[in-house]
Amino acid sequence: MGLLNSAADVLAVLYVYLAAAFALMITVLNYRTFLKKHGDFRSFLLYFTAFFLAFMAVPVAIIVFLAPAPLDFLRSVGLTLGRSGTGLLIMAASVPVALLAAFIGSRDPVMKAQYPFSKEACASPKTFILYEACYLVFYYLPWEFLFRGILFFPLVPAVGLVPALGLQTIISTLYHFGHPDSEVFAALAAGLAFGLIAHATGSFLYTVFIHALVGIGNDVLLYVRFHRPGRGT
């Protein structure tokens, strides 16, 4: 039995906490802050870790300790396999689309300058694989948990599907402030598409796969073409 009596009370605590977490992540815990003291490899690993703690570990802890039925609450925000048949079909269908998007992104000179975030990670295959693994677990997973999970699923019954889609898309798109213009527009489209996929499957896990396939695929293509040892940048 949690300390609070209803899911609505837990959401109230979560959303107040997330307001503070967003403020911290775009100020003192922003990767630009870490870059003032460290190289980009360590800075981005620290940033990914902070992102995971702020937007997944702490929210899950709040749910576990405060929700009257923590497992039911976690399932209700998409931490479940959901409709796995539908999810696997969507994942399979998304592979060529995601890889095409990664390929197109890798041809953009602005994206080449932006990604991979850590150029030091490209010093060797070992550091690159470690970096991308951290990118997947500590960034993409909490990203989808946040935007397609706790900022989406609870809002659907409260305000309707379309407003819930719009709200999480607005916030996730704004979080791309400072990224290349093409990526901001891609984030707008992805916010809507990923929200619909999460709604169709009852889970955000499938969008983790698709989102990471695009981002990591883009990094891999850029690494192979430009950034791997022995290649000029």
User: 210 and 98 in contact (C-beta within 8 Å)?
Assistant: yes
* Residues 57/61/64/67 CA torsion (nearest 10 deg): -110
Neighbours of 94 (CB within 10 A): 20
pLDDT tens digit string along 117-126?
A: 999 999 999 9
Asked whether residue 153 is domain-assigned, the answer is yes
Among 85, 59, 84, which residue's Cα sits nearest to residue 73? Answer: 59
Mean pLDDT of 216-229: 89
Q: Supply angle C-alpha 181, 203, 184, rounded to 5.
A: 5
Give the whole-number percent of the chain exceeding pLDDT 90: 85
Q: Which amino acid is at 191?
A: G
pLDDT tens digit string along 187-197?
A: 999 999 999 99
pLDDT greater than 70 at residue 25 = yes
Asked whether residue 30 is domain-assigned, the answer is yes
pLDDT greater than 80 at residue 203 = yes
Q: How confident is residue 180, by pLDDT bands cut at 50, 70 and 90? A: confident
pLDDT greater than 90 at residue 232 = no
Asked whether residue 232 is domain-assigned, the answer is no
pLDDT greater than 80 at residue 83 = yes
Count of structural domains, the chain: 1
Q: How confident is residue 230, by pLDDT bands cut at 50, 70 and 90? A: low
Among 197, 156, 188, which residue's Cα sits nearest to residue 170? Answer: 188
Sign of the Cα torsion 65, 68, 70, 73 reads negative
Per-residue pLDDT at 233:
47
Asked whether residue 1 is domain-assigned, the answer is no
Asked whether residue 192 is domain-assigned, the answer is yes
For residue 98, give its domain range.
Answer: 7-227
Per-residue pLDDT at 103:
93
Report the mean per-residue pLDDT for the chain. Answer: 94
Q: Is 33 left (phi over 0), alpha (psi -120 to 50) or beta?
A: alpha
User: 108 and 101 in contact (C-beta within 8 Å)?
Assistant: no
Asked whether residue 57 is domain-assigned, the answer is yes
Residue with tokens 């003192």: 28
Q: How confident is residue 70, by pLDDT bands cut at 50, 70 and 90? A: very high
Per-residue pLDDT at 1:
62
How far apart, in whole angstroms, are the C-alpha atoms of residue 162 and residue 156? 8
Q: 195 by DSSP, 3-state: which? A: helix
Asked whether residue 233 is domain-assigned, the answer is no
Q: How confident is residue 226, by pLDDT bands cut at 50, 70 and 90? A: confident
Among 218, 215, 220, 224, which residue's Cα sits nearest to residue 194? Answer: 215
User: 75 and 156 in contact (C-beta within 8 Å)?
Assistant: no
pLDDT tens digit string along 131-167?
A: 999 999 999 999 999 999 999 999 999 999 999 999 9
Asked whether residue 2 is domain-assigned, the answer is no
Q: pTM of this prediction? A: 0.94
